[in-house]
Amino acid sequence: MFVAQSGNLWMQLLAFAKEEDIGIRTFGGSGNEAMITIEDYMECFELDDMTKTVVMYSESIKMAGASAAASHTGSMASNINIFETACKQAGVIQAQ
């Protein structure tokens, strides 16, 4: 599974996958996320028994607690630290 916000990136990845004979069963593109978001795709992939791995290219991830955390004294922790901890807890492997 592959989901991306960038149309250019997914086109390049699909061309690379074809050249390298790598199968991509499903692709989801969220574009500017006016109607469907990466989170929507992830919820669908979670329900799919055949999905074992999801590659995701995201320019941003919405965190519900961000506004609450910003008003709390604990907001001195940077967003990247919160994001990295959430990824670790969810089993997400980040690539730089």
Composition of the chain by helix, strand, coil, percent to 5: 45, 10, 45
**Residue that has been written with the tokens 């074992």 in this structure:** 52
Q: Is 85 exposed, middle or buried (0-12, 13-18, 19+ CB in 10 A)?
A: exposed
Query: Which residues are within 8 A (CB) of 56 and not within 5 positions of it... i.e. 6 or more apart?
Result: 2, 3, 4, 38, 42
Q: How many CB atoms lie under 10 A from the CB of residue 2?
A: 20
In this prediction the pTM is 0.57
DSSP state of 72: S
pLDDT band at residue 70 under the 50/70/90 scheme: low
At residue 95, the pLDDT reads: 79
